[in-house]
């Protein structure tokens, strides 16, 4: 069985970072540590494209107020606002 390049790249990234496939989109948030990605994944935050306002309360509960304030400045914009 041969794997296509996309599957191989995803597997390599998962192995390198050490997070589940469903948490991989969180690598788009520059500066998140592996442990923060895993914790946010546990809280159900897996798609940074949903925008900061959708996850702010959850991120603050998971990582604390100070870290949430730091992440608010670098969290990716909501995908629909990028298309506008």
Quick one: which of 53, 21, 52 has its CA closest to 37? 21
Selected residue with higher pLDDT from 9 and 37: 37
Tell me the domain boundaries of the chain: 5-83
H or E stretch covering 66: helix 65-72
Interatomic CA distance for residues 4 and 28, integer angstroms: 23
Q: What pLDDT was estimated at residue 10?
A: 80
| pLDDT at position 84 | 43
**46-64: average pLDDT:** 94
What lies within 8 Å, CB to CB, of 12 at 6+ separation is none
- Please provide the DSSP assignment of 5-47 as one string: HHHHHHHHHHHHHT--GGGGGGGGSTT--HHHHHHHHHTT---
- What is the pLDDT of the chain when averaged over all its residues? 87
């Amino acid at each position: 069985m041969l794997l296509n390049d996309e599957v191989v790249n995803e597997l390599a990234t998962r192995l390198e970072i050490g997070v589940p496939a469903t948490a991989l989109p969180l690598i788009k948030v520059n500066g998140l540590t592996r442990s923060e990605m895993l914790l946010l994944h546990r809280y159900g935050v897996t798609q940074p494209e949903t925008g900061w306002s959708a996850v702010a309360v959850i991120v603050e509960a998971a990582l604390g107020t100070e870290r949430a304030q730091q992440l608010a400045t670098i969290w990716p914009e909501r995908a629909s606002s990028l298309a506008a």
